[in-house]
Chain A
Amino acid sequence: MTRLLELRRVNAGYGEFKVLHDVSLYVDKGEIVAVVGPNGAGKTTLLRTIMGYTTLYSGSVVFKSVDISGKRVHERVALGLTMVPEGRGIFPNLTVEENLLAGAYLERDKSKVRERLELVYSIFPRLKERRGQLAGSLSGGEAQMLALGRGLMTSPMLLLVDEMSLGLAPKVVLALFDLVVKLNKEYGLTMLVVEQHVKNALEISSRGYVLENGRVVLEGDGRSLLSNEMLKKAYLIY
């Protein structure tokens, strides 16, 4: 397997406020990797660091064997990396469809854009119903679907998803996990997800990291983490 992403002893944070301490992790091509941890552990900060939103004090972020530590966010996106942000970050004054089209901003081939649009609509039929509505007036769950859909429109090599199933109805969550597996298998989409459904997430992941207070305290493949007693207790995996 080829290494897609690697973080080497990363220290990062906001201004003077350091959040991540010596975090190292990697994602191989074709993997689904889960990051779990309590509130305020630094999961969001981790993803934001990979995208280049935070201050990196030391360490490096390597993507496709290129050190991207100095690159700006949109340059990282152009390399095939994108994120579905926490809090969704949809464009409230654009319609649902415009949001999705914005996702395919870098794609020049119009037919490919159409194809992807159809794919997203088939995954989230709800969005198709609401295609002309301003995204700002969507319900919480609809907005989450839109954020995910828009992430897929970018067609990245590696997709980072923060709080993937946040606010989605149970039925949709179940479908979503199936979908992730499907996208991973059929389209070879590699993902790094932050997820509160720890069990489901670890079940579909090849590997997982546990983050606490800005440090990686545990890592391993999905199955072994699932059976880790400490984790079981701390995260109430049933």
Chain B
Amino acid sequence: MSGPEVILRVENVTKRFGGVVALNDVTLSVGRGEIVGLIGPNGSGKTTLFNCITGVYKPDRGRVFFMGRDITGLQPHEVAKLGIARTWQKVRPFRNLTVLEAVTTGALLRTDSVEEARKTAVEVLELIGLPREEWGRLGSEITLMEHKLVDLARALATGPQLLLLDEIAAGLRPHEQERLAEVIKKVWSDRGLTIVVVEHVMRFVMSLSKRVVVLHEGRVIAEGPPEEVASNPRVIEAYLGIKPV
């Protein structure tokens, strides 16, 4: 790939679960500073791809490179330390930590001082716009959707280079999504992040990303600028149903 420096490269990655081939020889690259949309029908392998990149799963075949370094098979915490952060599609709620504590823990990746980490956490929470009165709440008292925002904050607090967002906007009202998109753009430009967004809400994906990759049954079936992909007949057939508004 020409153009900007490649920060993430997935090469011929295959992942099987029993008989199910979740990823089938997937190859793709992400340039530094990009926001890439990753879309595809349910079960097409998007989350699995994230899991393979972040070390939750080890690919059966293929390699993953991050900033030129082969990270295939590294432990998730090693991957995180290198600078890849993620959010979770299936919300993994915490119960006995407060919002602030949870985010602070994320920030402790880059510092040993709790105090410093807390400052970072406060910054990130303010940036995301989670109201202050929520910060002291325990995980068991906030809604499932709010967890997603905390998840995002926590990921950001780890000070990543690459951020993988798995359906972060699902379940939010349209105007909340709009606001979230603004936040993400702001973080992206402020910190020079690279972001991969998985989302079924087309407006959200389209408004964020300059480039969209489409997965279908574990393969990349289309790639390109949003409008182009959206009018690709294969994508419409497999995924969109009709052209999005």
- Residues of B with Cβ closer than 8 Å to A? 17-18, 20, 40-44, 46-48, 89-91, 141-146, 167, 170-176, 178, 200, 202, 238-242, 244-245
Contact = CB atoms under 8 A, between A and B. Distances in A.
A227 to B, nearest CB: 17
A139 B143 CA distance: 22
B171 A171 contact: no
Interface string A118-150: 000000001000100100011111111100000
B171 A137 contact: no
A206 B143 CA distance: 28
Interface residues of A, number: 39
Given A40-B146, A87-B144, A234-B175, A166 B170 contact: yes
Contact of A167 (B89, B141, B178): B89
B200 A168 contact: yes
9 contacts: A39-B143, A130-B20, A130-B43, A140-B47, A141-B41, A166-B171, A167-B89, A168-B42, A170-B244
Nearest to B48: A139
Given A139-B47, A140-B47, A174 B242 contact: yes
Nearest to B18: A133
A167 B176 contact: no
Given A171-B239, A238-B245, A139 B173 contact: no
A170 B202 contact: yes
A170 B240 contact: yes
Contacts of A235: 173-175
A172 to B, nearest CB: 6
Given A86-B144, A142-B42, A170-B240, 15 more contacts: A37-B173, A140-B42, A140-B167, A141-B200, A142-B43, A167-B42, A167-B89, A167-B200, A169-B41, A169-B200, A171-B41, A172-B42, A173-B200, A196-B171, A234-B175
B175 A39 contact: no
Contacts of A168: 42, 200
A231 B46 CA distance: 34
Contact of B167 (A38, A167, A172): A167
B148 to A, nearest CB: 9
A198 B42 contact: no
B90 to A, nearest CB: 6
Contacts of A145: 42
Interface in A161-207: 163, 166-175, 196, 198
